[in-house]
Chain A
Amino acid sequence: MRARTLVALSLLAAPAALADEEVPMPQQAVLLLKILKFDHSLEARAGGTATIAILYVENNPESEAVRVELQGALEAATHTVPFPIPIKVVRLPYSASRIDADLAEVKPTAAYVAPGLAAQLPTLTKATRKSATLTFTSDEAAVRAGLSVGMVVRADRPALLVNLPASKAEGADLSSDLLRLSQVIR
């Protein structure tokens, strides 16, 4: 029985390890903007302009590639997705020693956390909560570890995963309409 379970688990694990699917960046960009509109505190947190930061790791090819692709996609999405206030997209290379100061200076309303920052999440989430920055990612594990909104894959389709306590800690007040469409971690 134990052997059968191991065989079953190994067969399960193999495709998961090989699977490398994600919600395409143009869709993530559109989703991010649309999701932000469900935050009742958006305008209070943003002031006059919603600044969206892309947090990434410099010289990390995976992180840099996501940053480049998402930045282009977000800039394109700002022309197609109606939004109540002006949007500014900035890139923010992560530095553990400067993250608090960087967030205080840029004052992002939202931040997309690119790959390569899993080990930095405790420091990072502490900083985003302090600066009231709602975090987004495509990494499900990162949402479970404390980021707020995940744009993840379920059955080959985009799905939303919301860490509700994390989003509240980051100053967001996400509406029930959004939560109805999301898998919610409470």
Chain B
Amino acid sequence: MLSPTRVARWCAVVATVGSLTLAWPSVAADEKPPEKAEKEKHDKDKRDHDKDPAADKDKPAASSAADDLAQTLQQGEAEPVSRVMGQRIVASAVKPYIHGTFAVDWRWGDGELQIPNTLDLRESHVYLGAHILDIAQPEVFFELEKKNQTSEPLNLRYGQVDFKIAGDLLVLRAGLFLVPFGVYNTDLFLRYNAHLPERPEIHRRVVPGSWSEVGAQLRGRWEWSPGRALQYYAYVTNGQAGALTVDRASYDPVYRSLTGAKSAGARVAVQPLDGLVVGLSGYRGALNGVDGGLTLGAADFIYRHGPFSADGEAMYGWRLDPAGPVPEGGFYAAAGYKVASEVEAVASGGGFTVGPTEQESQVDITVGVNIYPLPDRFPTAVLKAAYERDVGTAPGNGVTIMFIIGF
């Protein structure tokens, strides 16, 4: 029985055999394949050289060049032409890349930190981008994870493009970007960079984590001597929309401004000593279309010296509620000490307030240990184990064991 699949297979076989049969006569009669042409030409050259012995003296060099060319041909490989939407692009001008972080964990908590014994895909982050002629760098950051039964499995956390106006001194960043406020959102956002498994409470309760907005930003870095640098950022964005609850700052970026309200902010960070960076940030934001709906200032630092490292941030400000401005802010400080290149003891303390009642304030302390199976290497991996204690009117205990890879 001849099925259509068998017919198709036989056609392919016939085509393959036919191609060999058909291809051979397609070479023109006066066209010589390399070896035959070479033999005829070589014989002719030999006759010529017999007539002119002086011609032989160039032969070793020519032979060496021929070997070199033959090697180049032999080692080369054809490649597909790079096209986008059918149009050829200058492939060598674009160096695409993909990076990511994946974090899985086990958590348990009671009291304020009530979490049933659960396994979780905490982070499945993918960064796609390209370096274009060392001038432009578009990058998107996708979050591919479900936080609960109803959440969307795919979120665009940022989609930005950097244009180098004057090298690293002045870069224009545009699109949806992480707001350069404080040290955490600027330098420590990647989960394997932070000391602890969980983000500081202020980056979940006071401002959203991740905190991204749509706008334009000028940024740059000036290194006036080795190890001494100044970093600067200034930006205008559409602001945020959403609500702040006791559990979470559930703000989203405003993708298209409805009222024209804008946020503006700036950050300056200086590196006065090797390993120390201190920064100041300011933000006056449009919240739910209201100019000045959220105003915050922050001071922060990072310090790294040998096996010891620490970072911290304090932010304070107010948000406009119908009843009037509500003060909010908080702080965190985290430190780690590497007792060996693979093992680091870590500790952190922090607190926040998002309103005048006691229930809207909290202090927490965390201790833990980080294991680095691939110390001082990238791609990297970290196993983090931490115990957190919330104190105050709603105490709680939480345990997290998290495994992270970054590539």
> A residues near B, CB below 8 A?
4-5, 7-9, 11-12, 20-27, 30-31, 34-35, 37-38, 61-62, 65-66, 68-69, 72-73, 153, 156-160, 175-186
B52 within 8 A of A: no
Asked whether A30 lies within 8 Å of B72 as measured between CB atoms, the reply is yes
Q: CA of A38 to CA of B89 in the docked complex: distance in angstroms?
A: 32
Asked whether A181 lies within 8 Å of B88 as measured between CB atoms, the reply is no
Find chain A residues with CB under 8 A from B14 CB: 4, 7-8
Find chain A residues with CB under 8 A from B31 CB: 183-186
Asked whether A21 lies within 8 Å of B66 as measured between CB atoms, the reply is no
* Residue from B38, B70, B89 whose CB has the most chain A CB atoms within 10 Å: B38
Other-chain contact of B11, A7, A20, A26 (Cβ < 8 Å): A7
Find chain B residues with CB under 8 A from A8 CB: 11, 14-15, 18-19
Interface-forming stretch among B73-81, B173-181, B248-256, B361-369? Answer: B73-81
Complex interface bits, B226-267 against A, C-beta within 8 A gives 1, otherwise 0: 000000000000000000000000000000000000000000
Other-chain contact of B73, A22, A156, A160 (Cβ < 8 Å): A160
Chain B nearest CB from A170 CB (Å) reads: 18
B306 within 8 A of A: no
Nearest-neighbor residue (CB-CB) of A152 within chain B? B78
Find chain B residues with CB under 8 A from A185 CB: 28, 30-31
Chain A at the B interface: SS class: helix
B63 within 8 A of A: yes
Q: CA of A186 to CA of B28 in the docked complex: distance in angstroms?
A: 9
Find chain A residues with CB under 8 A from B41 CB: 176, 179-180
Asked whether A176 lies within 8 Å of B44 as measured between CB atoms, the reply is yes
Other-chain contact of A24, B18, B38, B68, B79 (Cβ < 8 Å): B79
Find chain B residues with CB under 8 A from A37 CB: 65
Other-chain contact of A181, B22, B70, B89 (Cβ < 8 Å): B70
Find chain A residues with CB under 8 A from B15 CB: 7-9, 11-12
A-B pairs, top 8 by smallest CB distance, nearest first, are A180-B38, A177-B66, A11-B15, A158-B76, A176-B41, A184-B37, A8-B15, A153-B78
Chain A nearest CB from B63 CB (Å) reads: 7
B25 within 8 A of A: no
Find chain A residues with CB under 8 A from B12 CB: 11
B4 within 8 A of A: no
Chain A nearest CB from B10 CB (Å) reads: 9
Find chain B residues with CB under 8 A from A159 CB: 73
Asked whether B69 lies within 8 Å of A22 as measured between CB atoms, the reply is no
Other-chain contact of A21, B28, B81, B88, B93 (Cβ < 8 Å): B81
Chain A nearest CB from B126 CB (Å) reads: 28
Find chain B residues with CB under 8 A from A176 CB: 38, 41-42, 44-45
A69 with B91, Cβ < 8 A, contacts A21-B81, A176-B45 known: yes
B54 within 8 A of A: no
Q: CA of A4 to CA of B41 in the docked complex: distance in angstroms?
A: 41
Asked whether A35 lies within 8 Å of B34 as measured between CB atoms, the reply is no
A184 with B72, Cβ < 8 A, contacts A156-B77, A176-B44 known: no
B339 within 8 A of A: no
Asked whether A21 lies within 8 Å of B87 as measured between CB atoms, the reply is no
Find chain A residues with CB under 8 A from B30 CB: 185-186
Asked whether B70 lies within 8 Å of A23 as measured between CB atoms, the reply is no
Complex interface bits, B21-34 against A, C-beta within 8 A gives 1, otherwise 0: 01000001011111
Asked whether B18 lies within 8 Å of A157 as measured between CB atoms, the reply is no
Other-chain contact of B83, A11, A20, A25, A30 (Cβ < 8 Å): A20
